[in-house]
Amino acid sequence: MLDRKKDIRNLSFPFRLFVISAAVYSLLGVLVAGLWNLQMVHGKKFRTLSEENRLKLIPVSPPRGIIYDRNMAILVDNQPSFNVGVIPEEIDDIETVSETLGKALTIPAKSVREMIAGSGRRKFEIVPLKKDVDRKTATFLEERKTIIPGLVVQLEARRNYVLGNFASHLLGYVGEISADELERLKESGYRRGDIIGKFGIEKFHNEKIMGTRGWKWRVVNVLGKEVISDVPLLFKAKEPVAGDSVVLTIDKNIQKAAEDALGDRKGAVVAMDPRNGDILALASSPGFDPNIFSHKGKGAEIRSIFTDERSVMMNRATQGGYPLGSVFKLVIAVAALEEGVIKPETRLSCGGAFRLPGGNAVFRCWRAGGHGSLDLINAIKNSCNVYFYQTGVKLGIDRIEKYSRLLGFGGRTGIDLPYETAGFVPSEDWKKKTFGEKWYPGESAVISIGQGYLQVTPLQVAAGVAAIANGGSYYRPRLLKGVLGGKGEVDEFEPVVEKNLNVSGENLRLIREGMWKVVNEDGGTARKARIEGFGVCGKTGTAQTVSRNSKVQGEKRQPHAWFAGFAPFENPSIAIAVFVEHGGYGGNVAAPIARKVLAAALGVKEDVVAGL
């Protein structure tokens, strides 16, 4: 046992232990030196800070970026808003103060007293009494601050949607970050109390628009009163960094025309520039006024639009999947020409009805007597069902699915808005998995006229038509034209070509001709979209929503009205999709809406439009 001690000493253990001890004691020495520095060298400074002057850190919200339309018209900016509160520790006479403030803020004095007396706060914290007070009251109270010790009037920026109920789903709204969102976003630097976008572009581009929080040190004395201190502050303030201001692709005038044309009806309009994917207008009706989310005390209004049975908060242009009706015939036309199932001169016969070989079901055309013998262009012009039943059945569901997806259906377009839905394109696989049945040719017929399982969004329709209009480039629809740089110049983004359709230009041209006839020739289904001299082209759709023997009554029996088109015929500069929920016939209801919007876009005089 005792020998071990000798062993220990032999291996230079004493030295090692000495080194370790020295190291440890040096560390302790470093600590003492640090304490000396903090407490003796700088002690007085800290003492002053902590006792006579207390530092409180006030976060300063960054100004949110302004949202402009493509012509720099302001759509969303920030306005000053006043909040009134008190610091209870500073109040000398609670009764009088409650009376005075209660009167000024139109709150019962009793409630004011209760709020002041409430517990559960840190000392010297401000108790908010009323937010978003009008300027007059704020000035009135601010002037009386010296005789109401403890009163605090704070200036805050409020998000202001300049035109009220205008492009509401597209712009979105802002609000305080919720507990759930905070949980998810904490790692990215968000804090409790941050104002973030909750919907629309405000949400999608929140990172850009929000800016960076700043802070300032507020020096208060032992009574909690803010003082101008000449004690040099040891810690610097930081200016908040304003969020980026953004320029949208939206044109205010076209958007207004779209919203006016839709009026009170439920539906959506999407207008897009087929040359670059710019969204010129994206309207969903009914809309709401996003300002109610920025103002305080609008709880009732907010609740009512969320519970409104007309689904006010839904962006029908991007969040709703609907049957498309005859507009879908354009997809069948593209597929048929590309696959060689139909040639431009192929004539098929329509006698008013179509029967599958060996089948019992009868598929009718909308024209009881039939259209006679038609080629493709005229089949489009007249929207002949039978022509497309036959063509669709020949194509088969696999090819129909392929071209549907090619033209952007069944998938998200990637527009910069949250909650976009992909719609739905059926397939044989899907049917087998879901219903355990194979796909029947009759179902191909049904789909060819845009009925059946197919579900599309108005945005998808606009983007698809745009690709047909520009000769085969599918652009990603986009809302952000650019970001405002420091000197007022706009940093523009490049348009994105999502894909090339790789479809023959000749075939697309043929279809465009058909679409021209739909609007401009007698017998075409969309004469109500015609603007003399402007070469409007399009396709109507009237999508049945209930079966003939359904028990549904009233408005919901009505079919959806659709119109999809572009103008002018040569070098189209605008593509459009109009959707009116349970609106009736496409040609009657959707086409005139399209005309009004196209007129605004093409700069057609008001009286010319009215005269048509």
DSSP 61: P
CB of 237 to another protein, least distance (A): 9
Minimum CB–partner distance for residue 195 and another protein (Å): 16
Q: Provide the pairing of β-strand 279-285 with 362-364.
A: unpaired
Least Å distance, CB 385 to another protein, is 59
Beta bridge partners, 539, equal 564
Give which of 234, 250, 270 is closest to 76, Cα–Cα. 250
For tokens 């597929």, what's the residue? 335
- 344 upstream amide cis, omega within 30 of 0: no
Least Å distance, CB 278 to another protein, is 36
Q: Considering only CA atoms, which of 191, 186, 167, 600 is closest in space to residue 417?
A: 167
CB of 609 to another protein, least distance (A): 56
**Residue 598 belongs to what H/E stretch?**
helix 591-602
- Residue ranges of alpha helices (H) inside 407-548 are 428-435, 441-448, 458-469, 505-520
**Whose Cβ is closer to another protein: residue 20's or residue 117's?**
20
Q: Give residues in contact with another protein (CB under 8 A).
A: 1, 4-5, 7-8, 11-14, 16-17, 19-21, 24-25, 27-28, 30-32, 34-36, 38-40, 42-47, 49-51, 54-55, 57, 59, 120, 122-124, 187, 191, 213, 215, 235-236
Structural element, H or E, at residue 202? helix 200-204
Question: DSSP states of 471-504 as a string?
Answer: TSEEEPPB-EEEEE-TTS-EEEPPP-EEEE----
CB of 6 to another protein, least distance (A): 12
Contacts 24+ apart (CB under 8 A), 115-120: 116/86, 116/88, 116/91, 117/88
* Per-position b or e across 45-54, b if 16+ CB within 10 A of its CB: eeeebeeebe
CB of 516 to another protein, least distance (A): 57
Q: Which is nearer to another protein, 46 or 140 (CB)?
A: 46
Cβ-based burial of 62 (10 A; exposed 0-12, middle 13-18, buried ≥19): buried
Closer of 127 and 612 to another protein (Cβ): 127
One of 326, 404, 444, 473 is an active-site residue; which one?
326
Query: Is the Cβ of residue 7 or residue 606 nearer to another protein in the bound state?
Result: 7
For the CB of residue 8, give the shortest distance to another protein in the complex, in Å: 6
Cβ-proximal residues to 48 (8 Å cutoff; 6+ apart), any chain: 231
Looking at the Cβ atoms of 2 and 228, the one nearer to another protein is 2
- Alpha-carbon distance of 559 to 35, in angstroms, equals 81
Query: Between residues 20 and 496, which has the closer beta carbon with respect to another protein?
Result: 20
Q: How far is CA 479 from CA 271, 277, 476, in A?
A: 11, 9, 10
Beta bridge partners of 480: 248
Please check whether residue 315 is in contact with residue 417, taking contact to mean a CB–CB distance below 8 angstroms.
yes
- CB 24, min distance to another protein, A: 5
Cα 464 to Cα 474: distance, rounded to the nearest angstrom: 7
| Cα separation values, 296 from 75, 158, 340, Å | 21, 10, 62
Alpha carbon distance 504, 36 (integer Å): 83
Q: Is 326 annotated in the active site? A: yes
Phi, psi of 14 (to 5 degrees): -55, -45
Residue 127 vs 484, nearer CB to another protein = 127
Interatomic CA distance for residues 141 and 84, integer angstroms:
9
Helices 109-117 and 94-105: angle between axes, nearest 10 degrees: 120
Give the nearer residue to another protein in terms of CB position, either 121 or 438: 121
Residue 101 · residue 44 · CB < 8 Å: no
Calpha distance 22→266 (Å, rounded)? 82
Q: Please state, as a whole number, how many other Cβ atoms lie within 10 Å of the Cβ of residue 222.
A: 10
Q: Which is nearer to another protein, 16 or 355 (CB)?
A: 16
End-to-end Cα spacing for the chain: 116
Least separation in angstroms between CB 219 and another protein? 12
Minimum CB separation from another protein for residue 127, in Å? 15
Task: Classify strands 348-350 and 279-285 as parallel, antiparallel or unpaired.
Answer: unpaired
As given in the structure block, the two tokens for residue 87 are: 């610091």
Based on CB atoms, which residue is closest to another protein, 147 or 222?
222
For another protein, give the closer residue by CB, 3 or 92.
Answer: 3
Just list the catalytic residues: 326
